[in-house]
Structure 1
Amino acid sequence: NCTKKFQTCSFSTSEGEKDMTLKECLDECMEALDLFLNNHFTESLERLRPRVNESMYHALIYATVLEMQAMMTFQPDDISNAGNTMKSAQEVCQRSGSHETVAPPPLPRLHLYLQLHAEVCYAECQLQRAALTFLQDENMVSFIKGGIKVRNSYLIYKELHSLIKSPNCLKGPSHIHLEGGISFGIGAFNLTLSLFPPRILKVLEFAGFSGDKEYGLSLLDEGATGLNLRSMLCALLLLCYYTFLTFILGSAVNRAQCQYLMQIYHKYNFIHFFIVPFNVISLCYQAVALFEDGCKAQQAWKQFHHMCYWELMWCFTYKRAWKMAYFYADLLSQESLWSKAMYVYMKAAYLSMLPKDEARPFGEDEVELFRKVPTFKQKIAGKSPPTEKFAIRKARRYKAPSPIKLPVPVLEMMYMWNGFSMISKRPELTEGMMQTLTEAERTLLESPANEYSADDRCLIHLLKGLCLKNQGLLQAAEECFNKVFSSEKKIRFDHYLVPNSLVELSLLFIDQGRRDEAIKLLHKAKHNYKEYSMESRTQFRIHAALAKLKADPGEEEDTHL
């Protein structure tokens, strides 16, 4: 590492002609990235391939494209190939930053400048290799190796960030790309870590990491609005956070920032796969056409279509078009490797929402599909995805020779993906959901009591409370959430209902300005309930709500019940 020596260097214009080699590499990589973002995937890789063994930036971007492909296909061969390519890219970065390949000490000023670029690329390679390690292997040794890579990457980013902020920092012609790379790395780390619950974050901070959400967002915004190689990566991360993640966590969307980023990057076809969920929020019906256009935009990587299929499935779910939603779940179950257990569960769930006497598409039977769900269980980073675990637990009801039907499995999973917030601005959609819940409640009351009756009634109370909240009937919504809490001892299987009802009630209180009551309920949900379905999701939502309230950690002891 040459960062201490570098602080006292100044760039010599006589060396500018040599630096053009770096500039030409960056310009060509920008062109290749433009091709990729406009769905010209093969052309992009062909532009990069000739120089992957000599240019750190060509090697990095080429490996990054292959890693994105591997993460979408989820094919072991693709993951292995991406890992080997990223390892080779890291070796190119090491050679590019090694002073022995240029001249003996004392180091030329230009090479110190090149070495900093090499270190940024190296840190990015380390981080991406760690991600592939977590995907590829499940043993503890691999997790430790991946963790070491993540920490090494973070330390490099942190040191380089301090360096470029120093008054003596050398600024060459390609400095904007150096800054962009560092902003992306530090910003991504801070934003990601800030989403963890406080206890985990304290441990990570003790290990040297930092998790300041606002600081992370500001760095990513700085990187996204500059004309550099990582600007698009910064923008994509921000849009993913503002569209997908904030809704899953139940947070408010920064609509102004989304629109601003969309205006900057509207020319890229690739961006539509990430910004369409923003349109679903306000234009549920028009979103269908937008997703269909997204599928038509390219045919080279079918995995991009799967993102559209997933969103189309939910669009038709919000409209209660069960057969159309089933159609997209069926496509996903056949084509996507990401979560077959989830896709098959959703297929069964949609069929179960149809009347008994209505013909099933393709002659499929929901009971048989529910029974197949556990056979598709998989592990990512050594663990089964929480949504798959949830689907498998719910599907167990159908193992019995005469299974007891789930009351509203689609609406229950819709809640897990924060769908009731998605439809909050569409009164007609909420009204449709309320009709479905009312019919399900009537069926429950008319059916003989069984071991699932209490759980099913509480589920319907929770979902009805969300609909009533959307309709502005806050007192009625509060009563629904309280009914779940008061039935806590009667619940036998779906223990997640109680802490989630407390969270929903606290969010209702926040909207009414009842801050102290909300904080009390959030701490109760946080501390009094453990080892229930989708616990991590609920804990993330609690953390987000407390952060929004800026609750004093000291209040925790006073409100703990």
Structure 2
Amino acid sequence: NKMTIINNEIKNAIDLIWNNKFKEAEEIFSSKSSSTPRYSLHNAETAFLKSFITANELETENALLKLKQTKELAEQSIRIFESNKVPQNYFPPNIKTKEDFKNHILDCKIVLGDSLYMLAVLQITRDHKFKGCFNLRKSWKIFEDTLRQVKDDEENGFQYSSDLTELLRFGCGFFYFAVSIIPQKYLKLVELVGFKADRDMGLMYLKDCLSKGGIRTPFATMVILFNNLLLPRGLYNPTHQLNEAQQLIEKNLEKYPYGSLFQVMGSHCYRKQCKIDMGLQCMEVAISNCNSLSKAPLIYKYELANCYCIKLQWDKAIQVFEELVKEEKFQIRALCSLQLGSCYIINGQKEKGIQSFNNIKNFCKKSSSVDIVINKQAQRYINNGGSFSVLEVLYLRRDMAKMEKSLANKTMDILNSIGKKLGVDKPIPQQTVQPISNNTTINNISLSTSSFLSRTFSNLTKKKEEIQQNDILIHDRAAYLLLKGAIYKSIDLYDQSMECFEELLSMSHLLTEKFYIPYSYYELSEGYYHKKNNAKALENILKCNKFTGYEWEDPLKVRLRVTLDQLKRDGAGISNDDYSDEDIISNNGNVNSDDLLLEEMNELEIEEKETQLRNKLANNSNYNNKQTPQNNSKQQIYYLENNQITSPHLINIPSPSIIQDRSCDNKNFIERVPSL
């Protein structure tokens, strides 16, 4: 159909957004955003993108407000259109035919679905997980009903605007992708209320948008880059994803030379290739391109500081982190203070480091589960001196894996120097090792004027201090082994790496800081995989997966989810070291992806009804057996097992023509940006 809904004014304004001309774009969209949902959505979307660039709480609040207004306007416009009327001041005003009405109703429904999932993304990133999941469900219902309606109408001979069908496919793709990256603990909730995480389906729709070249092409590109560069690749060779990302970045920087978001992705792409200097230059260009923003690009500056940390340039990192912790509305202020303190300590400024750790409690948000973990880690570093803190943060951020070999060797020298100073560069003598539980009776001793009790209390106090020192020694040795193993692995010395993790696990019964254990099992799994021992790799990953309730659990669980699925595929004998996770998408056959999505949604509708029925039966059973706790417990376990999450099924689709298999030619993204 040649009818178009998206006019040139909207197209030009969207180009302005992706070329960092946010103010100019907002002026265009705001002129009609109070009366026309499409304009309102893109006005809110501008705020949505800026909120991620600045990580400023006020910008996020503004984006949330605009998205809620868009949602309400879309709902109101749908009701008016369905009563065969045109909303007041709606643009364009000349809507008269049945075809016009059906297309604009569809546009309003797509806007409603888009606004709901963007709301959900912001809510989930702010730790309002239940609100986010609720809005994701509402978004899914909108897209499900809309896609089914479009398909039915087209089968009956009605053709919608091609602009709208492309926007619908983008909305479906973004939705499926967003669901797939929800943290594991909330994914169960999402799947139980009626839909699955299916990243492959989402990427299929997003890549289809790339080939169309419409207004959603840059947004779809950004989501694909996020998938390729920021999400875990697990065990598979990342070369394909890096090649694809580099091509997309270069192509978009030709069109949007001031596009800071693409420069940031260029930085991540270079860092993934261990080209830290080029990654750092990309960040500097991205920051310089944001001079016109009303709020500083704080998240860009944060990434710049992390580039300095990878290069072991502590003074430069400190300078940036000091600036960031002064920003009262910066959403990751607590994390910056943790990293600032760790940089101070490695730089020989221990007092400043401890003070920075102490300040973290003032920056923590009650609603943030991440801030709670950060504060606990800060207290741990205060207690043990934080000698390994900066290296632990590098490890947890996966930045050690991005170091060039020369930097990795320097990091190993730093680690060994710290280990030798603390006396943990060699195995701890057996007679020194005592479990911390030996001091449990100490706190129950009451003071007495009796000399006997005084001597006893004095001895117990000394014993307690000795045990606490031993505990610090044990955990310092654990940190040393984890970090040494990670550095060895980063330079492909897998045997030496695995020896470190094996020794660490032999100390597991002595550790109260449990995150070392699952991380070691995970690292061993990767080691065995690279040694082509898939059975041992799977054994260790399953051991890792059994652990819960430890610090820094969420980042590892995301990697676990990817890796476990890959090992299951490998068990079927369909992969090797050169196998990329993109290879699960085949070039064979032609698939109607709309039919696939409708089939998927029908399955989800059935699953939702089955879930409701099982829950009802479970509740009835629990009520009837409430006098028999043992039977009740078994009944609950039975239903829990039947509701276990299954891995997303694989979909065969043609590879988009834009993606070509070629080696990286390492063109310099920076050369494409004119100096300001």
Q: TM-score, normalising length from structure 2?
A: 0.69
The corresponding residue for 2:117 is 127
8 A Cα contact 2:103 2:160, kept in partner: no
Change in CA separation of 1:238 and 1:153 when aligned onto 2, cut-off 3 Å: same
Distance 1:297 1:75 in 2: 18
The corresponding residue for 1:538 is 556
Question: Residues 19-58 of structure 1 correspond to what in structure 2 (within 5 A)?
Answer: 19=3, 22-24=5-7, 27-58=8-39
Distance 1:124 1:444 in 2: 54
Distance 2:538 2:125 in 1: 37
**Residue 227 (structure 1) aligned with residue 213 (structure 2):** yes
TM superposition shift of 1:101: 4.5
TM superposition shift of 1:421: 1.8
**Which SS does the other structure have where 1:533 is aligned?**
coil
The corresponding residue for 1:348 is 341
Question: 1:456-483: per-residue Cα shift (whole Å, max 9, x none)?
Answer: 1111111111111222322111110101
Distance 1:376 1:522 in 2: 35
Change in CA separation of 1:183 and 1:278 when aligned onto 2, cut-off 3 Å: same
The corresponding residue for 1:8 is none
Q: TM-score, normalising length from structure 1?
A: 0.83
Change in CA separation of 1:264 and 1:367 when aligned onto 2, cut-off 3 Å: same
- Equivalent of 1:409 in 378, 389, 396: 389
The corresponding residue for 1:365 is 352
Change in CA separation of 1:42 and 1:169 when aligned onto 2, cut-off 3 Å: farther
The corresponding residue for 2:501 is 481
Question: 1:164-183: per-residue Cα shift (whole Å, max 9, x none)?
Answer: 556527675841x3233222
The corresponding residue for 2:376 is 393
The corresponding residue for 2:322 is 330
**Which SS does the other structure have where 1:452 is aligned?**
helix
8 A Cα contact 2:53 2:299, kept in partner: no
TM superposition shift of 1:378: 1.2
The one-letter amino acid paired with 2:320 is Y
The corresponding residue for 1:279 is 270
The one-letter amino acid paired with 1:485 is L
**Residue 501 (structure 1) aligned with residue 487 (structure 2):** no
Identity, % of aligned pairs? 21
The corresponding residue for 1:441 is 419
Change in CA separation of 1:83 and 1:202 when aligned onto 2, cut-off 3 Å: closer
8 A Cα contact 1:133 1:146, kept in partner: yes
TM superposition shift of 1:245: 2.2
- Which of the pair has the greater relative contact order for Cα pairs under 8 Å at 6+ separation? 2
The corresponding residue for 1:375 is 362
Change in CA separation of 1:170 and 1:454 when aligned onto 2, cut-off 3 Å: farther
8 A Cα contact 1:67 1:82, kept in partner: yes
**Which SS does the other structure have where 1:223 is aligned?**
helix
TM superposition shift of 1:196: 5.4
Distance 1:446 1:53 in 2: 65
Q: Which runs of 5+ in 2 are unaligned?
A: 87-95, 426-465, 573-640, 642-676
Distance 2:521 2:375 in 1: 25
TM superposition shift of 1:397: 3.9
The corresponding residue for 1:218 is 204
TM superposition shift of 1:284: 0.8
Change in CA separation of 1:246 and 1:314 when aligned onto 2, cut-off 3 Å: same
Q: Which has the larger radius of gyration?
A: 2
Distance 2:107 2:146 in 1: 10
8 A Cα contact 1:251 1:544, kept in partner: no
Change in CA separation of 1:303 and 1:514 when aligned onto 2, cut-off 3 Å: farther
- Equivalent of 1:384 in 366, 369, 392: 369
TM superposition shift of 1:124: 1.0
The corresponding residue for 2:615 is none
**Residue 549 (structure 1) aligned with residue 567 (structure 2):** yes
Q: Considering only aligned residues, what root-mean-square deviation do their CA atoms show, in Å?
A: 3.1
The one-letter amino acid paired with 2:180 is S
The corresponding residue for 2:297 is 305
Distance 1:146 1:500 in 2: 29
The one-letter amino acid paired with 1:289 is Q
Distance 1:77 1:294 in 2: 22
- Equivalent of 2:100 in 110, 127, 134: 110
Distance 2:359 2:133 in 1: 35
8 A Cα contact 2:514 2:550, kept in partner: yes
Question: 1:102-147: per-residue Cα shift (whole Å, max 9, x none)?
Answer: 38xx981331122111110111122233445567896xxxx66554
The corresponding residue for 1:457 is 477
**Which SS does the other structure have where 1:345 is aligned?**
helix
User: When the two structures are aligned, how many residues end up with a matched partner?
Assistant: 511
Question: Residues 225-264 of structure 1 correspond to what in structure 2 (within 5 A)?
Answer: 225-246=211-232, 253=238, 254-264=241-251
Distance 2:501 2:127 in 1: 42
Change in CA separation of 1:252 and 1:45 when aligned onto 2, cut-off 3 Å: farther
The corresponding residue for 1:4 is none
The corresponding residue for 2:175 is 189
Distance 1:137 1:394 in 2: 19
Change in CA separation of 1:428 and 1:133 when aligned onto 2, cut-off 3 Å: closer
